[in-house]
A and B are shown apart, each in its own frame.
Chain A
Amino acid sequence: MLRLGAGDTFHGEGILAITKGLLQSGVAYVGGYQGAPVSHLLDVMVQGKAYMDELGVHVEACSNEASAAAMLGASIHYPLRGAVTWKSIVGTNVAADALSNLSSPGVTGGVLIVVGEDYGEGASVIQERTHAYALKSSMCLLDPRPDLGVMVRMVEEGFRLSESSNMPCLMELRIRTCHVRGSFECKDNIQPAVSTRSLMEEPAGFDYMRLAHPPVTFRHEKLKGDARIPAARSYIVEHGLNELMPGRRHADLGIVVQGGLYNALIRSLQQQGLADAFGETDIPILVLNVTYPLVPEQVADFCVGKRAVLVVEEGQPEYIEQDIATLLRRRDIQTPLHGKDMLPLAGEYGVEVLAGGIGAFAAKYIENIGSSEASSSAQTWLAGNRERREAVARRLGTPLPNRPPSFCVGCPERPVFSALKLAQQETGPVHVAADIGCHAFGTFEPFSMGHSILGYGMSLASRAGVAPMMNRRTLSIMGDGGFWHNGLLTGVQSALFNGDDAVLLIFKNGYTSATGTQDIISTPDDEIKERAEDKQQSLVDKNQTIEATLKGLGVQWMRTVTTYDVERMRKTLTEALTSDFNGLKVVIAEGECQLERQRRIKPWIAGLLKRGERVVRVKYGVDEDVCNGDHACIRLSGCPTLTLRDNPDPLKVDPVATVIDGCVGCGLCGANAHAATLCPSFYRAEVVQNPKWHERLLHGLRGAFVRVLQPA
């Protein structure tokens, strides 16, 4: 898909279109750190390594967002177009230091930072705006209208804007924009002039102005206002990056909207009868595909002479609205300005929310709109939604249970929380410093564990203040993803340096998994996967990078436990929480990501069966007449395949536990049954397909004897 050229039409997801846009812009290097919703950008580039080499584009999967941002330093001296990507706001926070040091000297080659604005429905991080970073570091901020053609154009323009202003450009893409399916007319990809195929002969000469170091930083700070922002503004105007949609009927009103919200705005205008299905609007709209810097002349020209202007800006604080208010006041333009007074301060701007604000705006400024057909229909629609929600709630009586994401079937991390639940029955409850990653699902039922989440890889650091104040030891949970992202330095190094009495539980599943199992330095090598006789086994133990690193740092107390061995995990955790050793205690929970294992296993099994070779399939089950209907097993597991069904025994009323298809036979049910002394209703079944002849014989003989012993 990335190879498409002029004349071809691209059909696919927004984030992939952006990726294509980068290649059409002659990008020379790409980096980043995966995270929803932008993971795909880097994933396809890493997978498309061969083609990238062909173009001479360097692709780097960075260890975190800071290293990705630092990579952009290449564009300070050299005419290299560079792009990096990550999930915002969290990623931008991590990258902030490098971004400041990049923005101060400014760039020669165009720089585009594609961030997933993880805000609103479906978001998985704290709700803050990336906008603040653009303001404080003087970076341009693009927020393209969610139309694939426009998005791709803004990528190309973004690089030129960056070069003409020496400012790095941020491009924020909301979740649904990244996953929108549409199409656009392609151009040919451009091979960068300087690339991995045509190298630079000499480094740039020494130039102090390019360093983020006093005294030149003071000059940089002036340049931002005197030269760069003005340059950016003129480029924005000259190349029409922002779009002006004329109004058919109410030219004396206006709406200023972030590009990303354009579609939602149009649909809400439709609902109010103020636009048609093709975006023909009654009220003029200024679409800001660039939300920073604003072009004062452009905004002023739009506002002057109008009876009122509404600013549609998602999230808080309302930077754009404040910016506009200031520039209007300075120019003494008296046009009434509305925004957060008619729209909610916080939260995603969906069509229903916007329709409310538009309604208020129209009611205030459009003559007798209240009596119009369209407006009354809109009123009915909004009121109908409200009433219906209440009616359904009344009918349902109790609110419906939530369905948060959870550990996959057979996930190696689930058993550790089972063990932790059991361990705390012995040690008493402990303070659990949780972290970002799949293991954060342990904060949901049935485990509900975790007192705080302070950021990716921050768990060990976040207990530093708690632990000294607490009688019992505290437990810090970290994934290998978080460990390499920064837990190693912010947590482990600090704990060792201060000689802290701490317990760290590392989930070593071999990948940064929550956003799609990306490889990391402790991922088992491909050739090891190739060589493995039994593809079903976990292979993470083959990579000892984490253990070696910790030893090297001087960790004295370290235990590695296979996660599915609940009993041993329970003992080890109890030991860590109660031992006399007062330094840093690290428990490494070893078990390869089940998603990855299944990707390996499924084709392998299929192959074996095709060739008629022996295959053993394991599935667990529950004896319906032995199950006591107390569901303690579920409270200790939560596996999606361990569920309920009606009790077949007419005397009993409570549903029995049952294991449904999809069970991968990970063994947790059995391990829990022993570790927690659950009811004896669990069985482990091994189904042997294409058994060998002697096996068959043995089984036959056995069967004969067994049947003699068995009653009906």
Chain B
Amino acid sequence: MEQNRPITLLVCALGGEGGGVLTEWLVDTARHAGYAAQSTSIPGVAQRTGATTYYIEVFPVPLAQLGGRRPVFSLSPVPGALDAIVSSELLETARQVGNGMSAPQRTLVISSSARIFTTAERMQLGDGRADAQRLLDVVKAFSREHHVFDMNAIARESGTVVSAVMLGAIAGSGLFPFPREAYEHVVRGGDTSAPEKLGKMAAASLRGFAAAFDAVNAPRAQAAFVSSVMAGEGNDAPPQAAPLPAELASRFPPAVHDMLALGHARVLDYQDAAYGELYAQRLGRVLAAERVADPAGARGFAITREAARWLALWMAFDDIVRVAALKGRASRAQRVRREVRAGEEDLVKVYDHFKPGAAEFAALLPPSLARRVTAWDRGRQARGLSPWALPLKVGSHSVFGMASLRLLASLRWLRRRGSRFAEEQALIERWLAAVEAGTREAWALGHEVALCGRLIKGYGSTNERGKHNLLHVTDELAGRTALPAAARATAIAAAREAALADEGGKALDAALTAHGAAPRPVQAQPIRWMKRPPSVKA
């Protein structure tokens, strides 16, 4: 460490993570160790969960040896002139690196691998999360040395807040010329008694401090951390295999077995063996088509594999029967206990929020009746009333609540005779036909149409929107023989991505028109019209 310039540290944290306490600890530690130090921050309203930074400078020569001279410290971090960056969140680390803060020749970067997703990432219809691997790469590529581990996990396990963990990481890195004791002394608040005699808070802070200290200090453990982080990223882990009936296995190539097994099991659990067989038959048709397009199976039967996934999910479409079944399971009750961290002795009461509307009930009625129900509901809306719905708060921990859930779940038989079942089957057939036709025409085209299965999900309006988009994409693009197949494939891919861009479907319509297709027909939506009369009569 050069003796003629301060040691510089940038701390990145989110509002409410105790960054202020951390800097106070650091400055006090420096003082007790006999070094000149200064910290600054820009809390502002970032205290409300926004990203914020703290900046600390310490002069590497003890005050006593400065002969009364006082270093002039900078109040703001200098890009490219930092000795270390410590950050409690991976994306914020990458942000500071992107601001040019970290210099590959000079800067040590200690970052939490934990992601706290921004609203922008969370609110996407599909998966809007930033690619953590990419963020890690940036951190690695633009730092002299880097330590990445899950600070939040350590904080949780130690029962403390992330600021204590960050302090431990800083101490463990040996960035400042302070002994470990100097840090611990400050965390103890000057209390020198044994750990067990310390206040709860201080003890927890010391635990977090120690864990992080070792994590950064011991390189081997470190490497383990990083690799574990890498493994954790992305959900491309191979789906665990469900038992697959031999008879079924014989009808499909091994490449699709894992998906097939999962899909078949799902459909079976959803309805019955007959429905499972229907699933197999439908998938068989896709396979037949793909065998024509790619006899050698050079592409690993990707179409059949994707179809196996999306077909199963569509056939097992969500309805009140399904939801009741899922919520009524014992395994679910245990999962809730875990999620809310209930102790052995604690009682847990669980209330489920349902709001079935006319459509949900109509779904289980035969078409003729269903039509009447929906007609009645439309009538309501025409009269300016909101669509009929029944807000329920069912206590699934209570006898009555569980009984009603089980009763609903037992209505499977009714589902088959219901109007929605028929509708869904018809739509599934339309999509499958498009997949088959596309595949026979060109593999890429079939593949893209199959992938469009992703657009189908959820309940009520979400589900309606998805179907509407999917059918429009297939009808408008898949079948447009005017365009060459390859062009259609790319168009469909673009449309699929666009469909997940916004609820209104602005992006989708744009994509459609961009590829010469018609935008989706406008959906009628009743709004309460309010027209102020002009204050001045003309």
Contacts and interface: CB of A to CB of B under 8 A. Distances in A.
Interface of A: 11, 36-37, 121-124, 146, 174-177, 179-183, 262-264, 266-267, 270-271, 276-279, 348, 350-352, 381, 384-386, 388-389, 391-393, 395-397, 400-409, 425-428, 438, 441, 444-446, 468, 470-473, 501, 514-516, 574, 577-578, 617, 619, 621, 623-626, 628-632, 634-635, 638, 640, 642-644, 646-647, 650-655, 659, 661, 669-670, 673-674, 677, 679-680, 682-691, 695-696, 699, 702-703, 705-707, 709-712
Given A396-B138, A401-B120, A405-B46, 9 more contacts: A179-B43, A388-B80, A388-B103, A392-B97, A405-B45, A680-B320, A685-B342, A686-B351, A710-B329
B216 interface: no
B457 A628 contact: yes
Contact of B327 (A352, A626, A646): A626
Contacts of B402: 705-706, 709-710
B14 interface: yes
Contacts of A682: 352-353
Given A276-B4, A401-B130, A711-B330, A444 B119 contact: yes
Given A401-B120, A405-B46, A709-B403, A630 B462 contact: yes
A427 B527 contact: yes
A470 B530 CA distance: 11
B481 interface: no
Contact of B331 (A514, A640, A712): A712
B263 A679 contact: no
B154 to A, nearest CB: 15
A181 B39 contact: yes
A685 B75 contact: no
Interface stretch (B170-178, B365-373, B391-399, B427-435): B391-399
Contacts of B313: 651-652
8 contacts: A122-B42, A122-B43, A267-B78, A396-B94, A644-B122, A670-B353, A703-B397, A707-B330
Given A621-B336, A628-B458, A643-B122, A352 B42 contact: no
Contacts of A427: 527-528, 530
B489 interface: no
Nearest first, the 9 closest Cβ-Cβ pairs linking A and B are A122-B42, A628-B458, A650-B239, A405-B50, A401-B120, A405-B48, A646-B235, A267-B74, A403-B51
Given A578-B530, A632-B462, A683-B351, A277 B6 contact: yes
Nearest to B407: A709
Contacts of A403: 14, 50-51, 91-92, 118
Nearest to B239: A650
A696 B326 CA distance: 27
Given A472-B532, A710-B330, A710-B402, A402 B120 contact: yes
A711 B5 contact: no
B340 A634 contact: no
B31 interface: yes
Nearest to B232: A646
Given A661-B341, A679-B459, A688 B48 contact: no
B328 A711 contact: yes
B528 A578 contact: yes
A501 B351 contact: no
A146 B46 CA distance: 23
Nearest to B31: A11
A323 B532 CA distance: 55
Contacts of B50: 403-406
A181 B346 contact: no
B100 A385 contact: yes
Contacts of A647: 235
B535 interface: yes
B348 A685 contact: yes
A706 B457 contact: no
Contacts of B23: 181
Of A391, A578, A654, chain B has the most CB atoms within 10 Å of the CB of A654
Contacts of A401: 91, 118, 120-121, 130
A438 B48 contact: yes
Contact of B78 (A174, A351, A389): A351
Contacts of A446: 119, 123
B355 interface: yes
A121 B477 CA distance: 49
Contact of B399 (A146, A630, A705, A712): A705
B40 A179 contact: yes
A475 B196 CA distance: 58
B41 interface: yes
Contacts of B363: none
B81 A271 contact: yes
Contacts of B137: 395
A381 B329 contact: no
Contacts of A402: 118, 120
B142 interface: yes
A135 to B, nearest CB: 26
B346 A689 contact: yes
A679 B74 contact: no
A635 B123 contact: yes
Nearest to A577: B530
B142 A388 contact: yes
Contacts of B447: none
A653 B235 contact: yes
Contacts of A270: 5
Interface stretch (B65-73, B274-282, B284-292): B65-73
A351 B74 contact: yes
Nearest to A700: B347
Given A277-B4, A621-B339, A712-B331, A392 B138 contact: yes
A532 to B, nearest CB: 24
A651 B241 CA distance: 11
Contact of B98 (A271, A393, A644, A646): A393
B141 interface: yes
B343 A385 contact: no
A589 B244 CA distance: 57
A549 to B, nearest CB: 27
Contact of B462 (A146, A266, A444, A628): A628
Contact of A472 (B47, B328, B530): B530
Nearest to B38: A182
Given A683-B351, A685-B340, A395 B71 contact: no
Nearest to B536: A468
B458 A629 contact: yes
Nearest to A270: B5
Contacts of A36: 43-45
A684 B240 contact: no
A181 B22 CA distance: 12
Contacts of B48: 405-408, 438, 441, 514
Contacts of A679: 318, 458-460, 462
B44 to A, nearest CB: 5
A625 B430 CA distance: 27
B91 to A, nearest CB: 6
B326 to A, nearest CB: 5
Contacts of B41: 176, 179
B475 interface: no
A472 B74 CA distance: 53
Given A426-B527, A427-B530, A653-B454, A264 B327 contact: no
Contacts of A516: 47
A247 to B, nearest CB: 15
